[in-house]
């Protein structure tokens, strides 16, 4: 993995795509900064940024991914591997479905993935210091260089989705206290079911029959 550090950039994801467009794609690349001025969040929202936090985007080709990983759940996969690495360093961070890093009940970061041809672009933002009262920040001190080198080394191991999911399905219970935005509506995860491919089913209560039915599968990238 080639790592390019920038003092400041509007968006690591946008910069990475433009870099590949002009320079060509020869190997996996990561763009890293602690000052992102126009970051991209989920559903094309702007990610609230502050200088001193960690923002990075990287590429992975399809052949570099574990064969059992559903691309729709790549955000969960990349996020959970980073979460596990931070947890090994004594952080209490956890992953809220489908791609948000949380400490207790406050969001401290998130992940987005986009597929273009056979290249998967993954962008991750992580608060290392306070942004506002609505957000939290990482509960441990980290060395960014060491963290990223360890993380990208983990990615080369192609840890299977089955192994990641076996751990994540336990942690998913924490997500059931929260809501997510599905089809532009806030939806509770209290009666949701996590499927083995990383998608979820949302239960719908039929008041007339007092029976529950389930919606179509919802993936992290939809």
Between the CA atoms of 63, 21, 12 and 164, what dihedral angle is there, to the nearest 10 degrees?
-10
User: How does pLDDT run across 177-197, given as a tens digit for each residue?
Assistant: 998 888 778 888 998 999 999
Instruction: Report which of 92, 72, 121, 71 is spatially closest to residue 220, judged by C-alpha positions.
Output: 72
Joined together, the tokens standing for residue 206 give 């039929």
pTM for the full predicted model: 0.90
Residue with tokens 């509960």, as numbered in its chain: 139
Determine the Cα–Cα distance for residues 144 and 108; give it in Å rounded to an integer. Answer: 16
Task: Map out the domains of the chain with their CATH numbers.
Answer: 2-159 (3.30.930.10)
Least confident interval from 64-68, 128-132, 145-149, 218-222: 218-222
Q: Is the pLDDT of residue 213 over 60?
A: no
pLDDT value of residue 5: 97
Residue 87 three-state SS: helix
Determine the Cα–Cα distance for residues 146 and 142; give it in Å rounded to an integer. Answer: 8
User: How does pLDDT run across 11-39, given as a tens digit for each residue?
Assistant: 999 999 999 999 999 899 999 999 998 76
31 contacts 4 by C-beta, under 8 angstroms:
yes
The proportion of the chain whose per-residue pLDDT surpasses 70, expressed as a percent, equals 88
Output the DSSP codes for 160-184: -HHHHHHHHHHHGGGGGGSEEEETT
**Any idea how long the chain is?**
222
């Amino acid at each position: 993995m080639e790592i390019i550090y920038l003092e400041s950039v509007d968006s690591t994801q946008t910069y990475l795509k433009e870099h590949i467009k002009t320079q060509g794609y020869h190997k996996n690349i990561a763009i890293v900064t602690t000052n992102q001025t126009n970051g991209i969040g989920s559903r094309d929202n702007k990610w609230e940024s502050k200088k001193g936090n960690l923002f990075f985007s990287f590429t992975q080709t399809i052949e570099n991914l574990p064969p059992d990983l559903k691309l729709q759940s790549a955000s969960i996969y990349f996020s959970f591997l980073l979460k596990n690495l931070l947890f090994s360093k004594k952080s209490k961070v956890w992953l809220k479905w489908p791609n948000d890093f949380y400490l207790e009940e406050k969001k401290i970061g998130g992940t987005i993935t986009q597929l273009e041809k056979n290249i998967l672009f993954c962008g991750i933002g992580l608060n290392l210091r306070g942004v506002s009262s609505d957000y939290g920040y990482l509960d441990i001190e980290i060395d960014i260089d060491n963290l990223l080198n360890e993380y990208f080394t983990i990615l080369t191991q192609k840890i299977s989705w089955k192994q990641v999911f076996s751990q994540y399905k336990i942690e998913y219970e924490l997500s059931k206290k929260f809501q997510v935005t599905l089809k532009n509506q806030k939806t509770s995860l209290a009666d949701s079911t996590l499927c083995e491919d990383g998608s979820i089913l949302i239960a719908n209560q039929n008041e007339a029959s007092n029976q529950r039915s389930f919606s179509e599968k919802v993936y992290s990238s939809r």
